[in-house]
Structure 1
Amino acid sequence: MYHTQTRSRRALNPYASSTLQFIFFFLLLVMVGAFSALFRVKGLSFHNISEVFATDTKNLIYYTVWQVRIPRVVLGALLGAALAVAGCLLQGITRNPLSDPENMGINQGASCFVVIALLVFGEKDTSFVILLAAFLGAAAGGSVIYSLAFRGEYTPSRLVLAGIAVSLFLGSLTTGAILLYETQLTEILYWMAGKLSGANWQDIKMMLVSAVPVIILVFSLANQLNILSLGEETARGLGVNVLRIRRVFAFLIVLLVGSAVAVAGPIGFIGLIVPHIARKLVGQDYRIILPFSALLGANLLVIADFAAQWVSYPADTPVGVITALLGTPFFIYLMRRKRGAVK
């Protein structure tokens, strides 16, 4: 009887612990978001804090907070959640801890197609065209890598090499197009670094329509990822169509990454860092990892964007630069740590 009760407590403890961590990181996100929205707003002090809620569109404080700062915070949270979930899915279906939309050519594919779309259609009133181009580019980049890595016997190292090769190729095409047509792509270089400046409520609506439903769908499919993580043979033995599940998740990754790139450019390494932190904190159950990764990703990108705004003030550093500074050493650390496992 005692051993049964002990096992029950151990089974419940991870869920109780993860609930507390969810609450903590949600409150952290709210506090960081509020601080980022109100930090150094011109004319704002404790004495006139009520002006933030005055609903006077002509009031500079109200306009700065609600039309400039809060859209940027909300967009950062949505993008961080989308990229973290995409990275989690990518690591799950490839069984490779180094997988990330940035390393696997998905970001670069989306960026390359967006640049081509801007050259063809111009830079005015092309939100839908950019979104469609980002989806197609993410799908193209991911498909090439998938075909290279999974043709014949799959190994994690083969996937990494294919991803790096395709990423470099697509990145070179994008850079070449920008250099050849720099007069037509005046602001694209800043976008290519990943940026949240200029975020508005229209961008948020786009993410709510294109990414949030996908994230919710991914949560409902988490148990399929749990089964897939047991290995292909075990998954097939349990009646799972491995190829179909992989393709479904790959399609969802394309939607998440494509929508993120279309709105803010290629922001790298969120999808690499966050799943590892989530697994350390809440274990290996994807029913917990996926929503927790979304929350962690939102926190990480909002914090990174706050740093991007003020690290070189008054200049606004693209947030992709900050995430790259965090992600590159983390990637090297993972390569050194997993060198015996990734073969």
Structure 2
Amino acid sequence: MANPTSEHLHTKPTSRPIIATVILFGGLAVLVLSIGLSILYGAADIDFITIWHSLTQFDPSSTSHQIIRGLRIPRALAAALIGAGLAMSGTLMQGMTRNPLASPSIMGVTAGSSFMMAIALVVMPQASNFIMMLWAFVGAGIGVVIVFGIGSISKTGLTPVKLALAGTAVTALLSSLSNAIAIHFNVAKDISFWYAGGVSSVQWMHVQILAPVLLIGFVIALLLANSITVLNLGDDVAKGLGQRTFFVKFTGTLVVLLLTGAAVSVAGTIGFIGLVIPHITRFLVGVDYRWIVPCSAVLGALLLVIADTASRMINPPFETPVGTVTALVGVPFFLYLARREGRGM
């Protein structure tokens, strides 16, 4: 009797390198254009010539130049970095768990980070960005442990829908606790930023923190990419092919916590990028994670930059929280996936 896994692999293409190459280079070109548009549009009316002069002939006395160099450029770059990080986090989570509903926002990662950020605002309100990022990392780890622990309390073990339900419940619990802390200790105004999600207050120091974290996470994710592709064949098959499944999953989880913790510490809770982008990427480039990881990073960066720009244009001169914009895309997609996976329960 033929091996169904082998038959599946031989009858369907595992990767589409030509499409992936187009996405990488074409996506990067569109990303640069989107960053330019993000710098161009905002509350202040600034034209392209002014942007060019601020880069080539910076005038410290010019308010427009200060806005461009001090606010809009770091904001656009941070949006790209955060979008890439969240997309790669979702890609790794879905690949390691073979759960199409896995993402940082659904699996309790971002809720755990926000919960610990609420505690940090109470315990050490004047803490540095680096210390706040450490608190976010710890919270991300707590969220993951709780979700997987609850999802495992079943005779049939973990399933995609059980993980999604556990993640939804834990997210609601941690959000409620965060709200209680915020109200009791009078830090509701500060913590509301983390729930809304956004990059409006990003400065260059945040970009300087995000860039090396993203680079480290990206390199490790690429090193794990081939092993994660093998993991998608099943743990037994992966072990038979010589993969150290525990090491791969443990290392991948650390990368997820690193990327998500950094993103949440800077931008707060921005959901659904880690859910939607990995699915779109796999649909376009196939199942080879050596292509999925870099392509998801590019598409995630592009989505958040566009969402951030749109958040400024929906109701000018006021800004709509960028998390609301991403939710408009992500919620229908999540419901579709939940319904599709629910048929297999």
Q: Taking structure 1 as the reference length, what is the TM-score of the superposition?
A: 0.91
Secondary structure, aligned partner of 1:100: coil
Which 10-residue stretch deviates more, 51-60 or 99-108? 51-60
- The yes-or-no answer on 1:248 pairing with 2:218 is no
Match of 1:7 in 2: none
In structure 2, what is the Cα distance between the partners aligned to 1:47 and 1:162?
A: 51
Q: Name the CA shift for 1:66/1:87 in 2 (closer, same or farther; >3 Å).
A: same
Secondary structure, aligned partner of 2:16: helix
Match of 1:181 in 2: 185
Match of 2:267 among 264, 267, 271: 264
Q: Name the CA shift for 1:312/1:235 in 2 (closer, same or farther; >3 Å).
A: same
- The yes-or-no answer on 1:80 pairing with 2:83 is yes
The code of the aligned residue for 1:181 comes to F
The code of the aligned residue for 2:236 comes to E
Question: How big is each residue's C-alpha offset from its partner over 1:212-262, in whole Å with a ceiling of 9 and x where there is no partner?
Answer: 211221112100101101101101111222222211111111111111101
- Pairwise CA distance, 1:145: 1.5
Question: How big is each residue's C-alpha offset from its partner over 1:182-221, in whole Å with a ceiling of 9 and x where there is no partner?
Answer: 3x34332133211100111100011123232112211121
Match of 1:326 in 2: 329
- The yes-or-no answer on 1:162 pairing with 2:166 is yes
In structure 2, what is the Cα distance between the partners aligned to 1:113 and 1:40?
A: 32
Q: Which runs of 4+ in 1 moved over 3 A?
A: 10-13, 40-50
In structure 2, what is the Cα distance between the partners aligned to 1:13 and 1:268?
A: 28
- Pairwise CA distance, 1:16: 2.1
Match of 1:27 in 2: 29
Is the 2:41–2:309 contact (alpha carbons within 8 Å) kept by the matching residues of 1? no
Is the 1:104–1:142 contact (alpha carbons within 8 Å) kept by the matching residues of 2? yes
Match of 2:144 in 1: 142
Matched residue pairs, number?
A: 331
Percent of counterpart pairs with the same letter? Answer: 37
Is the 1:41–1:61 contact (alpha carbons within 8 Å) kept by the matching residues of 2? no
- Pairwise CA distance, 1:165: 1.7
Match of 1:93 in 2: 96
The code of the aligned residue for 1:222 comes to A
- Pairwise CA distance, 1:13: 9.0
- Pairwise CA distance, 1:288: 0.2
The aligned runs of 1:195-234 (5 Å cut-off) are 195-234=198-237
- Pairwise CA distance, 1:42: 4.2
The code of the aligned residue for 1:136 comes to V
- Pairwise CA distance, 1:95: 0.9
- Pairwise CA distance, 1:339: 2.3
Is the 1:190–1:318 contact (alpha carbons within 8 Å) kept by the matching residues of 2? no
Match of 1:275 in 2: 278
Match of 1:235 among 232, 235, 238: 238
Question: How big is each residue's C-alpha offset from its partner over 1:296-334, in whole Å with a ceiling of 9 and x where there is no partner?
Answer: 000000000001112111112221111112111110111
Secondary structure, aligned partner of 1:195: coil
Match of 2:130 among 128, 131, 136: 128
Question: How big is each residue's C-alpha offset from its partner over 1:22-67, in whole Å with a ceiling of 9 and x where there is no partner?
Answer: 2211111011111111235746446656533311122122212111
Is the 1:54–1:62 contact (alpha carbons within 8 Å) kept by the matching residues of 2? no
Match of 1:4 in 2: none
In structure 2, what is the Cα distance between the partners aligned to 1:336 and 1:46?
A: 46
Match of 1:104 in 2: 107
Q: Name the CA shift for 1:339/1:185 in 2 (closer, same or farther; >3 Å).
A: closer
Is the 1:41–1:64 contact (alpha carbons within 8 Å) kept by the matching residues of 2? no
Q: Name the CA shift for 1:12/1:90 in 2 (closer, same or farther; >3 Å).
A: closer
In structure 2, what is the Cα distance between the partners aligned to 1:312 and 1:72?
A: 19
Match of 2:176 in 1: 172
Is the 2:88–2:274 contact (alpha carbons within 8 Å) kept by the matching residues of 1? yes
Match of 2:60 in 1: 57
In structure 2, what is the Cα distance between the partners aligned to 1:317 and 1:323?
A: 11
Is the 1:214–1:255 contact (alpha carbons within 8 Å) kept by the matching residues of 2? yes
Q: Name the CA shift for 1:205/1:46 in 2 (closer, same or farther; >3 Å).
A: closer
In structure 2, what is the Cα distance between the partners aligned to 1:257 and 1:97?
A: 18
Secondary structure, aligned partner of 1:211: helix
Q: Taking structure 2 as the reference length, what is the TM-score of the superposition?
A: 0.90
Q: Name the CA shift for 1:180/1:101 in 2 (closer, same or farther; >3 Å).
A: same
Secondary structure, aligned partner of 2:312: helix
- The yes-or-no answer on 1:116 pairing with 2:125 is no
In structure 2, what is the Cα distance between the partners aligned to 1:169 and 1:176?
A: 11
Match of 2:292 among 289, 293, 304: 289
Is the 2:14–2:287 contact (alpha carbons within 8 Å) kept by the matching residues of 1? no
